Structure 1
Amino acid sequence: MTASLGNAARPFTPAALADLVPADTRLLALGEPTHGAEEFLGLRNELFRHLVTEHGYRSIAVESDCLAALTVDAYVGGGSVGGADAGGADGELDAVLREGLSHGFGAYAGNRELIGWMREFNASAGAGERIRFYGVDGPLEYTGAAAPGPALLRLHDFLADRLPAELLPGREELLLRCGPDERWTEPAAARDPGRSVGRTEDAVRLRLLADELSLLLAAHRPQFHDDEDALWRAELDARTATGLLRYHAATAGDGPDRLNSLMRQRDLMIADNLEAIVRREARRGPTLAFAHNRHLQREASRIPLGDHQLLWWSAGSLLESRLGDGYAFLATTFGHRAPDDHPAPDTLEGLLATLPYPRTVLDPEQLATAVRELGGVKARVPADHTYFGLDPAALGQVDGVLFVRDIARQQGLFGGAEA
């Protein structure tokens, strides 16, 4: 370990990490290098508790289905989910984790801990101090995207209750054009564009109808302020329906840019949701966002895929362009992953593994100085597809680095080759 590297490093505490965050931050993005590692979920939870109690943060937004997350937010706000059949408090929380988090994230202990703590905090919080839970991802899973119909129909119903009928397209046409949800959620469409309905006559017409409904919502917004929660849900439905229709259209594309287009559509949905959350929370306090580094980083995202490389503007880069100094990004990375995944000594993670702390907070400017002095520090080549190393050339694009020396091998979908 060099003197410059030692000067850049401090043992992790939530306060040490928060000290790196600029004072005018409205959206603090905490990335993770891989999904499903409990170590990073635990760090997130520690940081969020500190931000809530010491810095006035009143919301957290995670990489999960934005619509399903409404179930979690209702629960942490003190609502009951699952009724008498939920099996008591533990059973009710089980139901919330199962129904309120996508991508299998409800199975992780760190998410259970977070949601339980938020509910406990809110039970004794004042009316204006309640902390909220958001999802920022679209209703997307690894086998495809949800149908746009439910969100589109809810949006129509919201407007129909408040506007003259002659302003709205007919609900019957929406139902007819949407058809059964199964036509949209066909798993084979993820790999075969010909199995997607995203560019059929019905889908094209629905995109026009969704645009008309979204325009009506935006144009009449001042008259809907009497019910803030209902307006928030309507705007969420508008973003989700239009985003899903764009995503399905990209799924149906058969050109060389198809996969890049899907990544762009997803990160655009994440960015739009986060920007809307920042606006909603502006009077209550900043928001902590938690998602993969690749979504939250300021630079364009790259993922190698065989002989090709996916390249798209990340949600973080979009938010940086919209929020400016209001956006801050903390990147995380790790050293050793059990049982035998170790970074090479000449990589950034190999360098950080020489530090004496199991969890280390690093000032990025000082870390970049140490990297320049050493020379020849490379980006880590992942042992498998489940994570990405931290690029030493990108240190100027982060506000802080959090390094975990050892993590356990994840289980399930994110567990790598041995899972």
Structure 2
Amino acid sequence: MLLSGCANGPKEHHVEWLEEHALELPTSLDDPLSSEIDGLFTAAAATYRYIALAEGDHYVDDKYAYRLAFLRRLVFEGGVRQIAMEIGGSDARRIDRFLETGEEAWLGKVVLYGYSGDSELERRELRPYSQAPANLCTRRFVSAEFGFWRSLHRLSMAAEAIDGRRIRLYGFDFDAKPGGGFQDARDALGPCTEEPTVTSVRAKLTPPRGSGGMAEVERLRALVTELRGAAGPIDGACGPGVAEHLAQTIDQLASSYWLAMERASIGEDPDALREHFNRREGLMERRMAALSERLAAAEKIVLFGHNLHLARSTDLLRFGPPSRARPMWPSLGARLEAKAPGSMYVIWLLFAEGTRLQGGGGGCEPEAEVRLRDGSLEETLRAAGERYVVPLSDAPEGGLTDADFEFGTATSFGGGILRGAVDAIVFLGHARASR
């Protein structure tokens, strides 16, 4: 029988088990971790191809220290150098160029962070998605993101000094502010020998004036087919693999426009949202499949993204606040696990209360309050301590991982039964918005 997370008796039972199995975190995640926690991550790197460092809220500052603390172990003890993130491919490529060169101009060209183009052509391609004025929330978010990438660049340089291999970043999601892929594709054609096929493709990498909507999506999809059909002459003029790189760049551009338009059109209807997220997850799976095939089979990949996107199983999970909750769709994590059983190790970051950046609709709450919810998973976790990691593999049948809980924060509420979905929880009693 499943235990209710709201029942009084079961809660004490869960808390006792947590107190016995929790591994305490240091006051600052910049400080050394315990040997038990180190061992947990070293074992994960040795055993699994995909290690998910997932987060329950994108808009708290604590996620950056969490990522870095555990990445250090995975990089230096596990040899991990590949990171795939819930971000668009165009934005990820520009961040990766920063990781490669250390030149902050590349961060300044990330469309998600407000880049609107250096030329009239780029500015036209990036409208209307680049036109929203920056507010305090976006400025704080971008500043925090820049700080994280600088820290990751330093970590990458230290890793490269050991074995000559730097950290690389890939995006498996759609670009929330589409358009950057046009310039990415033109840049890829820069070194090519000019010949008729290249000239024809180059002309099609500038969207016709007045194009937009699904007509532009279909034009881009046709271009993807053309690029793959002309791989021979394109690779002959540009180098091996360029045609497929261009095809993937344009395919992601097309799907980014499509998903951005769809998301804007469906509002907050929970059933329409579920269908949208399911389609989006399918595209994430396609991106990750291409990346996994491109990398050597021995390469481990760390995944950054939302807890629900990276859950290893979603059969017993739901998304949305209780009043509008719907069954979860198959997550990216579940799809990766289904393709390669035993390949996923999933860590969730959860926190009890604090503040978060909360935007949307042009507004901004720079320190929106997050309150502890009665009967939530976080309430039970809080009763066992303030800062810890708890592995869930030894959770008894009928215990914490078989109880039905609500969890998460505004814009990312979820609920359900954790067994099979997550391997370990990193819990913080308090988190704060980026400042």
Give yes or no for the alignment of 1:292 onto 2:302. Answer: no
| Equivalent position SS for 2:287 | helix
1:246 positional shift: 4.6
| Equivalent position SS for 1:64 | strand
Tell me the alpha carbon deviations over residues 42-75 of structure 1, each in whole angstroms, 9 at most, x when there is no partner: 1110111111110110122222232122232222
Structure 2 equivalent of residue 322 of structure 1: 339
1:269 positional shift: 3.3
CA distance 1:207–1:277, change in 2 (3 Å): closer
Q: What stretches of structure 2 of length at least 5 have no aligned partner?
A: 1-11, 26-32, 114-137, 356-368
1:312 to 326, 329, 332: 329
Give yes or no for the alignment of 1:362 onto 2:390. Answer: yes
Structure 2 equivalent of residue 41 of structure 1: 64
- Paired amino acid for 1:347: S
- Paired amino acid for 1:329: V
Structure 2 equivalent of residue 244 of structure 1: 256
Distance 1:351 1:308 in 2: 21
1:304 positional shift: 3.0
CA distance 1:80–1:394, change in 2 (3 Å): closer
Tell me the alpha carbon deviations over residues 264-310 of structure 1, each in whole angstroms, 9 at most, x when there is no partner: 34323333333333333326631111111121113347433875748
Tell me the alpha carbon deviations over residues 193-225 of structure 1, each in whole angstroms, 9 at most, x when there is no partner: xxxx11x3x5434423323323554x8999899
- Counterpart mapping for 1:201-280 below 5 A: 203-217=217-231, 233-234=245-246, 236-244=248-256, 246-247=258-259, 250=262, 259-280=273-294
Distance 1:366 1:279 in 2: 33
Distance 2:346 2:286 in 1: 17
Structure 2 equivalent of residue 347 of structure 1: 376
Distance 1:38 1:112 in 2: 13
- Paired amino acid for 1:334: F
1:135 positional shift: 2.8
- Paired amino acid for 2:310: L
Distance 1:35 1:56 in 2: 26
CA distance 1:252–1:150, change in 2 (3 Å): farther
Q: 322-331 or 240-249, which moves further after superposition? A: 240-249
Distance 1:407 1:72 in 2: 26
Structure 2 equivalent of residue 120 of structure 1: 157
Distance 1:98 1:285 in 2: 30
| Equivalent position SS for 2:340 | helix
1:402 positional shift: 1.7
Tell me the alpha carbon deviations over residues 240-272 of structure 1, each in whole angstroms, 9 at most, x when there is no partner: 134336536746988987544432343233333
Structure 1 equivalent of residue 179 of structure 2: 146
| Equivalent position SS for 1:130 | coil
- Paired amino acid for 1:304: G
TM-score (normalised: structure 1): 0.71
Distance 1:349 1:246 in 2: 36
| Equivalent position SS for 1:68 | helix
Structure 2 equivalent of residue 11 of structure 1: 24
- Counterpart mapping for 1:41-190 below 5 A: 41-77=64-100, 79=101, 81=103, 92=104, 95-100=105-110, 102=112, 106-108=142-144, 111-121=148-158, 124-127=161-164, 129-141=165-177, 145-146=178-179, 149-150=182-183, 157=189, 165=197, 170-171=200-201, 174=204, 178-180=207-209, 184=212
* Cα-Cα RMSD: 4.1
Distance 1:330 1:146 in 2: 33
Distance 1:148 1:97 in 2: 15
TM-score (normalised: structure 2): 0.69
Structure 2 equivalent of residue 388 of structure 1: 413
Q: 14-23 or 45-54, which moves further after superposition? A: 14-23
CA distance 1:108–1:101, change in 2 (3 Å): farther
| Equivalent position SS for 2:426 | strand
Q: Is the 8 A contact 2:354 2:431 kept in 1?
A: yes
Distance 1:359 1:241 in 2: 41
Q: Is the 8 A contact 2:60 2:431 kept in 1?
A: yes
Q: 243-252 or 29-38, which moves further after superposition? A: 243-252
CA distance 1:48–1:211, change in 2 (3 Å): same
Distance 1:22 1:55 in 2: 5
Distance 2:59 2:395 in 1: 27
Q: What stretches of structure 1 of length at least 5 have no aligned partner?
A: 82-91, 185-196, 413-419
1:34 positional shift: 0.3
Distance 1:214 1:261 in 2: 29
Q: Is the 8 A contact 2:84 2:302 kept in 1?
A: yes
Distance 1:174 1:354 in 2: 59
Distance 1:370 1:48 in 2: 32
Distance 1:148 1:130 in 2: 24
CA distance 1:154–1:386, change in 2 (3 Å): same
Distance 2:288 2:70 in 1: 19
Aligned residues: 367
Distance 2:94 2:53 in 1: 23
Distance 2:353 2:302 in 1: 27
Distance 1:162 1:264 in 2: 41
Q: Is the 8 A contact 1:76 1:115 kept in 2?
A: yes
Distance 1:297 1:272 in 2: 17
Distance 2:49 2:234 in 1: 24
Structure 2 equivalent of residue 191 of structure 1: none
- Paired amino acid for 1:146: G
Q: Is the 8 A contact 2:347 2:426 kept in 1?
A: yes
CA distance 1:296–1:169, change in 2 (3 Å): farther
Q: Is the 8 A contact 2:376 2:405 kept in 1?
A: yes
Distance 2:107 2:248 in 1: 21
| Equivalent position SS for 1:76 | helix
